[in-house]
Amino acid sequence: MADTRFKGKQVVVTGGGAGIGRAISKRLAAEGAKVAIFEREIDAAKRVAEEIQADSGQASCVEVDVSSEVSVNEAFESLDSLDVLINNAGIASVGNLEATTGEEMDRVYAVNVKGVFNCSRAAIPKLREAGKGVILNMASIASYLGISDRFAYSMTKGAVYAMTLSLAKDYIDDEIRCNCICPARVHTPFVDSYLEKHYADRKEEMFKELESHQPIGRMGKPEEIAGLAAFLCSDEATFITGSAYHIDGGVTNLR
Residues identified as active-site? 153
Residues contacting residue 240 through CB under 8 Å, at least 6 positions apart: 177, 179, 232
CA nearest neighbour of 92 among 38, 52, 149, 176? 149
Got the DSSP string for the chain? -GGGTTTT-EEEEETTTSHHHHHHHHHHHHTT-EEEEEESSHHHHHHHHHHHHHTT-EEEEEE--TT-HHHHHHHHHT-S--SEEEE-------B-TTT--HHHHHHHHHHHTHHHHHHHHHHHHHHHHHT-EEEEEE--GGGTS--TTBHHHHHHHHHHHHHHHHHHHHTGGGTEEEEEEEE--B--HHHHHHHHHH-GGGHHHHHHHHHHTSTTSS-B-HHHHHHHHHHHHSGGGTT--S-EEEESTTHHHH-
Beta strand 34-39 pairing with 10-14: parallel
- Residue 8 burial (C-beta neighbours within 10 Å; 0-12, 13-18, 19+): exposed
